[in-house]
Structure 1
Amino acid sequence: MARRLLIGVVGAGQASEKGARLAEKVGRRLAEAGAVLVCGGLGGVMEAACRGAVRAGGETIGLLPGPDPAAANDHVTLALPTGLGHARNVLIAQVSAALIAVDGEYGTLSEIAIGLKLGRPVVAIGSRWQVPGIRPVETAEEAVELALRLAEKRP
């Protein structure tokens, strides 16, 4: 049985309207490609991406910061309560073959930095971050296509 790629989607816990639309498209595209979406399992970009994936028949993993699996958004198909707070960002980067960033602030930036440190490809839609190693794109479709291509090249 072939293993499915785990692709992390990171972003704002309170997404802008545009960010939520982009995240939902990213989730849908990942599901259509057969990838499993990994995120922090809460609201904003995480919820929108999970919603898109689930509506397209995909699977989603939420690595929750707290101890309660019921805290996951309604579109997480597998909730894993870590009890680690922001330290769960390391787990998201570690288990993901690539990361896609949508919107976000310091928590997202920490996931990006950890992902880059771990050698994970990081694709950012409309990136406002000037961080070496981030691959900027403009659309959800470009983000998913590039993230999948880069993830498949990893050893």
Structure 2
Amino acid sequence: MIQVAVCGPAQCTAAEEAAAREVGALLARSGAVVLCGGYGGVMAAAAEGAAGVGGLVIGILSGADRSGASPHLTAAVATGMGQARNSVLVGSADAVIAVGGSWGTLSEVAMAMRRGVNPVVGLGGWQISDARGEAVPGLVVADSPAAAVRLALAGQG
């Protein structure tokens, strides 16, 4: 079963929340397991979207217990690792979709690219370029939730 991590800020805009909810639903309808950080914002919206259509949603929590976790998770893994849990999250994923951007999201994108997760899809938020201003290979930019999911699932099956 394909596992796709949906990453993004806990404090997000209404547009990012709506996009994450749609991404979660589309992934679940495609049969993918949705992985997320398990708390609020983009994470909760992706979990809500996936759970709303009967999908499987796993939260990889930074805390030592499940307090504060989204009620839309199918299961929660309490790591007690703080932000180091980002490594567990992306390391468990076949693909990553980053919705919006925060420093935590950037760390997840960087770890996923470093680990060779393919693809890493950005929907809004971070756009990474080299010193010449050219796009860094590996981060694919999507312009809609449907495009992000299509890109994430391409070649996974």
Q: TM-score, normalised by structure 1?
A: 0.93
Q: Secondary structure at the match of 2:31?
A: coil
In 2, the alpha carbon distance for the partners of 1:94 and 1:126 equals 22
- Tell me what 1:103 maps to: 100
Instruction: Check conservation: 2:90, 2:111, Cα contact below 8 A.
Output: yes
Q: Which has the higher helix share?
A: 1
- Tell me what 1:124 maps to: 122
Q: How far is the alpha carbon of 1:15 from its aligned partner?
A: 1.3
Divergent runs of 4+, >3 A: none
Q: How far is the alpha carbon of 1:129 from its aligned partner?
A: 1.9
- Tell me what 2:144 maps to: 139
Structure 2 segments unaligned to the other structure (5+ residues): 130-135
Instruction: Check conservation: 2:20, 2:43, Cα contact below 8 A.
Output: yes
Bigger mean CA deviation after superposition, 87-96 or 119-128: 119-128
Instruction: Check conservation: 2:101, 2:126, Cα contact below 8 A.
Output: no
Q: How far is the alpha carbon of 1:128 from its aligned partner?
A: 3.6
Among 9, 13, 20, which residue is 2:6 paired with? 9
- Tell me what 2:70 maps to: 73
In 2, the alpha carbon distance for the partners of 1:104 and 1:37 equals 19
Structure 1 segments unaligned to the other structure (5+ residues): none
Distance change (3 Å), C-alpha of 1:46 and 1:31: same
- Tell me what 1:26 maps to: 23
Among 54, 63, 83, which residue is 1:57 paired with? 54
